[in-house]
Chain A
């Protein structure tokens, strides 16, 4: 049974998607069926969490399963979860359930196509985190793009055409370089299996992978697709995109760049840390200057992903565990914020910060949820984000205090932009277009957002749940980490 859990987690949503597409069902049924599948998926993940062996030593991941795909080049369907990828998969299923619930509540045109695509996206993303074969990884990595392309292109806002084209062009430029890198690396190792492949010192192949992940994350200066894609998507798609899909880059850096290319990883560290630091400050400043709600969240995502990258490139216990913890935090925070932004835009018919304001008065639930999420996002001491950022800064400190100073500066900037959003949406009443008739969050919306918030609070109380349960079972990583301790 446990051998099948990874496969089950990948293909349950895909099967759900096929059912939604192929079986005729009334309009309302598609959404509720999709939500049911997403919740069952969460249930399976929890089941897997209970069975997960965090102490497992050696290279084999949990729920390891392998079948030959084509044997002449040693490509196989090989899936399994390491601890860090298992947390990211958990983030995926939870955010997906919340997003699907939100879409169901908000209602979407052509529901069968829509919910099928959302489920398919969920399955493909879990697949990315589970793959232990490079070609399979690449296939899932690309397969995420197909539903996203349609979800933004068909159900997006007025500027969706430009947004999708930019998104696809940036992403594919990166991924095709990665395809070349996959081929070069796989053929030189004579296997595409990530566990069997040994380490390589080729800087070019490393760069092929790194650029693809840097676009997906995104890392400055490859972030050109980000603002449009996040602004034009439906809110729940933006939640998936920033909360979950960007984490594929974290996984890639971790599982491939770090584990398989330790030498180039070392060589390019300064370059990538510099880019990440620039992106961190730049993203934070843009978030502070952005004129609309989604712009703030989008640019803060840019900054947060840069911070996570800094943690990864610290390549020590503190930095890596901080990066994974922060990846989960940021996923939950940005998903919650995007769903709240969607709720606010529905009410005020605008996301423009100049035309919002005063929503706190008479709307206590909205105010409470937004402030709580915002406070976690700005990493107030005691929050899970504080724990993550602290670990990242502690991890990067040995590489030079300058990096840590930039990171600390970003925390200050985060406080500035989050407080600005909170005040612009909830308090500042100068030019608000939202009148008294605007409703507070409805029970259904609360049922979607509060669980996410509750998870964040739980992580705040016990961040070690993730940061202490990831390095033992992570393939080649422990050996590398010990080198740097």
Chain B
């Protein structure tokens, strides 16, 4: 008889909450009367994410000392718990954004079930303790996302996005898997901490197998975080996927991919930090350059935001590349306003899209700010946050990121980041210009329906995102304390 490992169910509670919600939503699609499916599935999904949020918060509180659970496959620590809170919060907002989208009723149950499952996979991934759970979590949420991207069966771009993401994403996963195999081959270990020990004791720091494996791991994670040069799928997928899915993806996927990158590199490869810090700095510069320059020429807002998300991957990679405690804090702090702003910005795009029934471009954003003041002001705050302006959390986030790079002694990276921020201003302000500053004659764009639909849940989500985004500027201390506690789970 095989001994089953003891399972710390509490450490898995956020994932379980979301998975349970997915099951309930799926069942509801069969049992509940047709008219109620949407409300039922959305409520189940929202409750799942809320439960996950609460469970992660309790986990954060109770996991002061990091430990490895379930035969060392799962790390129970504050880093994972904080990332799970971010994922669950993003999921909650994504439900609010999704609710009033014009989806055919046949698939609405599956949609919410997949969303919740996806959240569960992400929550599992950030707590990965070895290469197996890492790959399992990665595939778990990726497969959900492939389907979610292709969810609009009537829309060719959506199907194309799903297929593209599937192919490129699978390639990325393949690279990651191959890299894991090489690392395992070199060290004979799967656990992150065990890999570090093996590297140290066997003096493997210039072992070619390990180095190639590390490079492939970084590349695989780069695909998920959409860091240049692994970003090619991002604009097409972000543009084609249903906007609420894009919103969730841009926030949560990026968050988990980057948190995981931080965890893997600092826990498993501390011996090689001379190498991977430089590699990540190069990736960061490439992402900043490509993301910002390409965004300058975009007219479609979703594509623009996609390139902007590439550039933000660059900023956050700077924090990881700094490989110091300040960098860990910087990344975890940055994620909070970034996820809020990203979800919120796509939510505003979704609202406009539903109003016009057409893809949103900079031209047909015209006048949005005056027509719908809440969305306009919120979009303001999101763009300013992306651009790193004060009065938004994005400013403090950039400040921490640059401070971390400076503390490592990489002033050139600070200058590069500052230059990238400067370029990015042009297109972020172009969005604001489009919303507020067109002459009145250009504002007569006939909406698809009579008056814009009043979507209370969407507006509420946008409002919450704005509050988080702006609140992060004023309440830096509590958030940075959270980030500090989380970063202390890592050997920085």
Binding site for B on A (CB under 8 A): 68-73, 75, 110, 135, 138-140, 142-143, 145-146, 149-150, 153-154, 160-161, 164-165, 168-169, 172-173, 176-177, 179-180, 183-184, 186-187
Contact = CB atoms under 8 A, between A and B. Distances in A.
Given A135-B399, A142-B389, A143-B390, A172 B477 contact: no
9 contacts: A71-B477, A142-B390, A146-B389, A153-B433, A164-B433, A168-B429, A176-B421, A184-B411, A184-B414
Contacts of B429: 149, 165, 168
A75 B407 CA distance: 16
Contacts of A143: 389-391
B436 A180 contact: no
B391 A184 contact: no
Contacts of A110: 370
B476 A179 contact: no
Contact of B403 (A153, A168, A177, A183): A183
Given A72-B484, A168-B425, A173-B422, 17 more contacts: A68-B477, A69-B477, A138-B390, A142-B389, A143-B390, A145-B389, A149-B432, A154-B437, A164-B433, A165-B426, A165-B429, A169-B426, A176-B418, A179-B398, A179-B399, A183-B403, A187-B406
Given A135-B399, A173-B422, A180-B414, A154 B436 contact: yes
A120 to B, nearest CB: 10
Contacts of B399: 135, 179, 183
B437 A146 contact: no
For the complex of A and B, 5 pairs with smallest distance between CB atoms: A139-B390, A70-B476, A153-B437, A176-B418, A142-B390
A214 B25 CA distance: 60
A441 to B, nearest CB: 31
Nearest to B430: A165
A183 B425 contact: no
Contacts of A186: 403
A153 B418 CA distance: 25
Nearest to A156: B437
Contacts, number: 78
Nearest to A182: B399
Contacts of B418: 176-177, 179-180
A186 B415 CA distance: 16
A343 to B, nearest CB: 25
B437 A161 contact: yes
B402 interface: yes
Nearest to A155: B437
B395 interface: yes
B426 A72 contact: no
Contacts of B402: 179-180, 183
A72 B332 CA distance: 15
B391 A139 contact: yes
Interface in B414-465: 414-415, 418-419, 421-422, 425-426, 429, 432-433, 436-437
Q: How large is the interface on B (under 10, 10 to 19, 20 to 34, 35 or more residues)?
A: 20 to 34
Given A150-B436, A180-B415, A172 B476 contact: no
Nearest to B389: A142
Contacts of A75: 476
Contacts of B76: none
Given A139-B395, A142-B389, A179-B418, A153 B477 contact: no
Contacts of A173: 422
A206 to B, nearest CB: 15
A407 B391 CA distance: 41
Contacts of B415: 180
Name, among B370, B399, B402, B406, the residue most crowded by chain A CB atoms within 10 Å (CB to CB).
Answer: B399
A184 B406 contact: yes
B78 interface: no
Contacts of A172: 422, 425
Nearest to B396: A70
B303 interface: no
Nearest to B400: A73
B480 interface: yes
A227 B50 CA distance: 54
Interface in B372-390: 384, 389-390
Contacts of B419: 176
B403 A73 contact: yes
Nearest to A143: B390
Nearest to B480: A70
B329 interface: yes
A179 B415 CA distance: 10
B470 to A, nearest CB: 12
A242 B492 CA distance: 49
A241 B104 CA distance: 54
A183 B406 contact: yes
A146 B406 CA distance: 27
A146 B422 contact: no
Nearest to B422: A176
A69 B475 CA distance: 8
Contacts of B329: 72
Nearest to A69: B476
A72 B325 CA distance: 11
A375 to B, nearest CB: 39
Contacts of A69: 476-477
Contacts of A169: 425-426
A72 B480 contact: yes
Contacts of A73: 403
A150 B437 CA distance: 8
A71 B384 CA distance: 25
Interface string B355-376: 0000000000000001000000
A193 to B, nearest CB: 16
Contacts of A165: 426, 429
A184 B399 CA distance: 11
A161 B429 CA distance: 11
A373 to B, nearest CB: 33
Nearest to A70: B476
Given A153-B433, A154-B437, A70 B390 contact: no
Contact of B384 (A70, A146, A164): A146
Contacts of B406: 183-184, 187
A66 to B, nearest CB: 14
Contacts of B411: 180, 184
A368 to B, nearest CB: 39
Given A146-B389, A176-B422, A179-B418, A187 B437 contact: no
A17 to B, nearest CB: 12
Interface string B463-478: 0000000000000110
Contacts of A177: 418
Please indicate which of the listed interface residues A153, A168, A183, A187 has the most CB atoms of chain B within 10 Å of its own CB. A183
A187 B324 CA distance: 14
B419 to A, nearest CB: 8
Interface string B37-50: 00000000000000
Contacts of A70: 396, 476-477, 480
A187 B407 contact: yes
